[in-house]
Structure 1
Amino acid sequence: MRNELPPYRSENRVQIQDKHDDDIYDILPSFEMHNYYLNRTFKDVELETTRLSGIFQPPSYCDHSTTTSSTESSSSTLYSTPSLLEVRRSGILNNVNKLPKLEKSPLILQIHVTKDFPKLGKTSIPESALKEYTSNDLITGYITVRNTSSKPVDFQMFTLSLEGTSKIIQLDGPSSGLRFFSKNFLKMFDLSVSNNNIPNQDLKPGAVDPVDGTYYGLPEGNVLQPNVTYKKFFVFKLPTQCLNDKCQHFGCHQQHLMLPPTMGVDITSFDKKAQSIKINSNLGYGRLVGELGTPIKTKDFTSDYESITYMLKARFIGEYGNELARLSEREYHIRFIPYGFCQPYNTSLREINPEVQLSQLYETSFNQLAALRQESDLRNNFGVEASTTLGQLYLQDDDEEAKLKQQNLIETASSSEKQVLQDKTEKANQLVSFPISNPNKDTNYEVTNLFLLKQNKHTKLQRVLKGSKHKDSARNEFGSITIIANVPTEGLPYIAPKLLKSSSAKQGLLNPMNKANINLLESSLDDLEKSDLSVIDMNLEYEPTSETGLPNIDIANIMLQAITTKTSTSAPITFGNSSKLFNGYFKDPETNQEINKFDFYVLKFKKLQRQIQKMSETDLALFDRQTASDIASIASMQYRKNYIPNVVQIQSMINGKWTKQADSNKYKKNIKILIKLNDTNKNNYTVIPTFEDCLISRLYNLKLDLSFKENTASKDGFEMSRSLYIPIRVRKFDFNE
């Protein structure tokens, strides 16, 4: 006989009060409830279908009226409790996509997203298909399922989740098809929907909704009757950031813990129908016509082979033949643009310049491979047995700072520098963790560029910094000019087609809960950080090498540069303000070819990866897996540059005068460029916020095309053009549009 659930205490009820329709009171799941749904193994569900005992009833939220000793509990179970490792390996919800899916299901499953929490007897207003959600927003609605067959359909499990996934698709040739690399950075379950026994004073299981004739709740006994429609209400609250275990590098890459914006479209989603979505140039977006929850594709400078997707996913799991299968599955895509910054003003307190990160990671990886080869020679030539893995040799020190150093996350510092770092860390810990704010309000970060001024007889646009493939003795060097530009604390606003932005939530329509959350988020930033960029400040220093006039400087053009990076495994580095990493060129001493710093390191890591691929299985077993993953990540990393015109326009330029410095041959001046944002967006671009995910990142620079011309009438004077790149963050702060 099935155990009866005890009555619930009033404080545990999910209440929706008529007087305050915007107030939703929810409860956190108990540990037993969470464990029951998230950590059940396939064996658990198979045994549950026997229904020989009531021990498989979902745990309740309240105290049980009777208790049993641990010996009685263990003797009454039908199988031994699996270990934690077994649970992690075979948990159903972690492996649900591996279950076979019915091609033709008798169950018609639908997800409906509504403007407010639905109620029985009240018609729900559907949410706009173009709605953009942001941090702390509520997603409300209901699911319906109808058994269209003439026979009852049994199921063992139903789940509704909110999932965020970054995905990389690689082409393996026309015969091999596609390979997928994905990371699930967000997975939230509405357990009140997945379990029919969570109490609610207003929602009685089996009650008929007079609006549409549906039955509320899933039937007791987990049997869907023929030609009957069931419904359940749901609510999700979007978080502001992910848990620390999302980033496998000690959870210390703060940027990787921020929720990224929706980006591109997963062409494999919606039963692969998403690959047919085309963008309407007049609207600036595209979607599947006549489909609920269709993905939305925009001009966000994303390829078809990378995406960040948020969706509601409903699944019925049950027996099909002699195995478990997904009886029915439905997805509803949510467009999400996070509030505030997803990248700090500088690299965070415990992180360093990305080029230094790459250099130290390469040195550590190279040394580990060299040590492994030495150990292999000892083993093969002298029969010395390995007593531990190489990774353990490098991680014997339990000190957290030593571990971080080995992961190339902090620089070696003196005792005084360590104290300063500790003080800054303690100060930063007192701040609200989201949005990422600048803990050093009084610190300015700069980018420095050195340009050599030379006579250009052949081409005015020749890249002198990249070197020349042909020697030209006729060109004379007139001097050098150093430009130091401040990295703006301010940012650029998130840009999207008007139809998308007009569908977002307005401040006046937000419920009290959201208003309080938004006020909390905004309180962690000062007014400067929340303002839009309006001035670019540059200091110039000119050092002539010959008798020549002072250079005139003009800004020929300004545009936004978008850099998209992607890799197949979790990135071990962060990029921060890395404008030079992708744009600064130098001559590789090994190949004598012109290359940027990022490509230079990718080639070096590819050489390390080839060494790993030649290892024996014995050596591979000794090599640190994390280091091998880090090497593979950098070796497979790719990037793409896109240039977005007409986002920023130059209003005017305050061009200071050259001032000769005392006791030197140098001249200095200051230039301020006043800019304004172009709000028309005639091309319907979508400029998503700056973010860094473990697999995908989006960075931005302002590209300024500078012209240098000697202030003289001489025909042999210099006249050149160069490009300056200034890191800039894109973020969302608007709630009133």
Structure 2
Amino acid sequence: MTNESPPSYDSIKNNKAYKPSDEQQRQIDLLSQHTPVTELSAVSSNAETKYFDLLPSFQMFQSILRRDDRQFSEDLRSRPPGYEENNRSTNISRIGSIDANLNEVSSRLNEINLQQEYELQNYIADDVGLSPVMSQSQGEPNVNQESYGLSPLDIIDSLAKSINSPIDIQIYVTKDIPHLNMNNQLETRLKENTNGDFVNGYIIITNKSNKPIDFGLFTVSLEGAIKQKKYNKVLLKKYLKMYDLAASYGYTLVPNSAGIEYEPFATDLSDDCQIGLPDDRTLLPNKKYKKFFTFKFPNRLLDNSCTSNLLSHLIPPPSMGVDRSCFQNRGEAIELNKALSYGFLNIRGTPLLTRDYSFDDTSISYTIEAKFIDKKNSKESVSHDDINKDDYIISRSMQYFLKFVPKEIQHSNLKIYQELKNSITWDLICKQNDKIEKEINERLNQIELSIDELKNKNLLIHSQPENKKVNKIDNEPGLKSDTCEIFGKKKLFSSHSKIGESFMSIQIPNKTIPYSSPRLLMKYNEDFSLYYKDPVDLNIELNFITSESNTKPPLISSIDINLICWSYIAEYPVPFEIGYDLFYNNYLDNREDTVRSNLQIIKDQVSTYIDFVNDSNLELSKGSLMYLNSMKSLGIKKDNIREYFKSTRLDPHWKVQLDKKFHWKSNINSPLTIINKNNINLLPSFQSCLAGRLYCLEVNVKFKGMEGNDNTVKLDIPITVG
């Protein structure tokens, strides 16, 4: 797939076809004499340069970056044999050895049982529930870890971090593709990235000591993570990890994907940095090294990012909240500036705090990560099948936080309507419960129980009521409010009394509400400007019913529209999409607080299963354990945002019809005029395995009438923000 060139790239001056270096051209010439490959050469065309999305092969990634323990004990101080044009036999022999090594690596890979790169898959059963396995990292709270592989790269997120290191790492993100020997303009912290955006820049590494320092592995990656801080532990899910093979340390020269051309180990005259890291993996005293990087935000995550293969969970979620543990816990000091409506640290790469109504203990972050990984005792070598986090350490690391806002938001008012009408979330929960009960019964059939024991256990696990679907949907795809009593004066000098009843029906908007952020962010990021979005109107059918022929509908005081934010988090992956019926379709008719009672019913059912499983010493499948833990840890938060839309005041046109009573109707078109008075950051709607955000409009039509009486017809309408 072809992508357009990054903007602001001096098109004529720097738009040159890629030219291999002298050493690379010698290899091309050599290989072309023995294999039927087409000779590579620089071709001048008058067309604009195009960039292609090409993923490296797994073998390339394995051989360059994800290497085993042997690389930490290699002696790289002596130069390796060189390729000489007058010694073709030696060259052919070396080519053969490379092929043999690649074949060996490929063969070994086929024998590896690759584990999913997922930190929340290891479980244990205890007397209080089913919990993730935790392990202690030096200098950090408890962090749950993934299964170990054959390379230190597999356990990089579980490694302890060194507190003191003479190595300094600085990450610089530039507005455009950086050039050598010139000062490059840096990107502002207000930049908002979206799907398909390029992130360019460079990293400067300095050995600030007076002694040479050896290093084992250096990686540069773009990562996305959900982090939850719960008491003395941190739950971490890395759902995105993209390595730049050119920016990381490798045994070979990998061309920069943005086309930055340079001679290896040359000096950048703008800052006196050596380009690239030394081949012998030794940083000289007080010397600066530079590495260029280029990343592109993906449109989709890899399939293994969601164990349930849900499409909505494979869309990268927006940045949300702030990682308070960043920069050695200095993120705790970030406060919201009331004038700017955002806050940050006074250091490069700081995360940006906005009023986005996130959970206090949860953050979704995108960072550029630069890390040096070393072996604690470089003289010892371990087995390839015995990679242990206690053998390695992150000797130095640095982060640069990027703000990300996805632009691909799927919206279907018909889909939302069907979810509410069919109570799709409750249906999925019931199916999960049926699956667990079937699995429990299968386990019980494998053990010998008395009739009384079996009866008691069956009574225990079947103690919850069946699902009851509730909906208030009359006309597709619209919703109907509850009926509200309206009070007023029947005559000029009469007392206040009930004069009728009112309700309304509203169609679910067929457009998305536009994303917005604090004004300065919106001004800098014009791509997300509200003015580029189509306006959204609400079609309201207002009804007033009275038994008095001389009673007309009272005047409307105002139509106020507030935003309702529904946020959820879980410590374990939620295996289905959460629909609006969880918030608005009551499981039982005799409960007033719909969300609280619904959530309590779910947790009671799950606790019953967990207690039963633990009491019976039963082993459930990993999928069932994941579901039980996710529902047990599920948390829901509701925020009511006022003064985001402009209030409407109007005098509607009423039509009356006789149907035993006098039934007045008025069709109102109410525009959603955004004022964002409190300067909030309205995140796009999203759902991921561990966190999500859904929105509704709270529509309040207020009639004039007796003071002290609400006289307000209310209805919540699901909407999508994007």
TM superposition score category, shorter chain reference: 0.7 to 0.9
Cα deviations across residues 200-257 of structure 1 (Å, max 9, x unaligned)? 68222110111111100111122212211100111111122323332221x23x3222
How far did 1:72 drift? Answer: 8.8
1:197 pairs with 241, 253, 256, which one?
253
15-24 or 88-97, larger mean C-alpha shift: 15-24
For the structure 1 residues 75 and 337, does the alpha-carbon distance in structure 2 shift closer, same or farther, using more than 3 Å as the test? closer
How far did 1:485 drift? Answer: 0.7
Cα deviations across residues 438-464 of structure 1 (Å, max 9, x unaligned)? xxxxx963222232537799xxxxxxx
CA distance in 2, matches of 1:476, 1:381: 70
Cα deviations across residues 391-434 of structure 1 (Å, max 9, x unaligned)? xxxxxxxxxxxxxxxxxxxx9xxxxxxxxxxxxxxxxxxxxxxx
Q: Counterpart of 2:370?
A: 314
Q: Give the TM-score taking structure 1 as reference length.
A: 0.71
1:721 pairs with 697, 712, 718, which one?
712
185-194 or 684-693, larger mean C-alpha shift: 684-693
1:169 pairs with 229, 240, 243, which one?
229
* Correspondence 1:192-341 to 2 at 5 A: 192-194=246-248, 195=250, 197-199=253-255, 202-249=261-308, 251-252=309-310, 254-289=311-346, 291-321=347-377, 323-341=391-409
CA distance in 2, matches of 1:354, 1:11: 61
Matched, 1:448 2:472: no
Amino acid at match of 1:650: S
Cα deviations across residues 688-737 of structure 1 (Å, max 9, x unaligned)? 22222222222222212233579xxxx99x97334211222222xxxxxx
* Correspondence 1:545-694 to 2 at 5 A: 549=551, 551-552=553-554, 554=556, 555-576=558-579, 578=580, 581-582=582-583, 588=588, 593-596=591-594, 598-615=595-612, 622-653=619-650, 655-660=652-657, 667=663, 669-679=665-675, 681-694=676-689
Matched, 1:532 2:561: no
1:7 pairs with 16, 27, 39, which one?
27
Q: Secondary structure at the match of 1:310?
A: strand
CA distance in 1, matches of 2:715, 2:77: 70
Contact 2:553–2:664 under 8 Å retained in 1: no
Amino acid at match of 2:240: L
Q: Counterpart of 1:144?
A: 204
Q: Secondary structure at the match of 2:609?
A: helix
How far did 1:369 drift? Answer: 4.3
CA distance in 2, matches of 1:445, 1:326: 55
Contact 1:652–1:673 under 8 Å retained in 2: no
Q: Counterpart of 1:426?
A: none
Q: CA RMSD in A?
A: 4.5
Q: Counterpart of 2:131?
A: none
CA distance in 1, matches of 2:416, 2:359: 29
For the structure 1 residues 13 and 242, does the alpha-carbon distance in structure 2 shift closer, same or farther, using more than 3 Å as the test? farther
Contact 1:15–1:25 under 8 Å retained in 2: no
2:504 pairs with 478, 483, 490, which one?
483
Contact 2:549–2:662 under 8 Å retained in 1: no
CA distance in 2, matches of 1:611, 1:236: 47
CA distance in 2, matches of 1:76, 1:486: 60
CA distance in 1, matches of 2:327, 2:262: 31
Matched, 1:381 2:421: no
How far did 1:40 drift? Answer: 4.0
For the structure 1 residues 152 and 621, does the alpha-carbon distance in structure 2 shift closer, same or farther, using more than 3 Å as the test? farther
How far did 1:119 drift? Answer: 1.8
Cα deviations across residues 490-519 of structure 1 (Å, max 9, x unaligned)? 233222222222332669xxxxxxxxxx9x
Amino acid at match of 2:519: K
CA distance in 1, matches of 2:77, 2:540: 74
Matched, 1:30 2:54: no
How far did 1:368 drift? Answer: 3.7
Q: How many residues align?
A: 605
Contact 1:157–1:316 under 8 Å retained in 2: yes
List alignment gaps of at least 5 residues for structure 2.
1-22, 30-36, 82-91, 118-146, 379-390, 452-468, 470-474, 490-495
Q: Give the TM-score taking structure 2 as reference length.
A: 0.72
CA distance in 1, matches of 2:218, 2:43: 24
Q: Counterpart of 2:213?
A: 153
Amino acid at match of 1:36: S
For the structure 1 residues 276 and 561, does the alpha-carbon distance in structure 2 shift closer, same or farther, using more than 3 Å as the test? same
Amino acid at match of 2:538: I
* Correspondence 1:379-458 to 2 at 5 A: 379-381=446-448, 445-453=477-485
Q: Counterpart of 2:10?
A: none
CA distance in 2, matches of 1:126, 1:15: 31
Matched, 1:502 2:541: no
Contact 1:477–1:545 under 8 Å retained in 2: no
Q: Secondary structure at the match of 1:643?
A: strand
Matched, 1:366 2:413: no
CA distance in 2, matches of 1:622, 1:313: 39
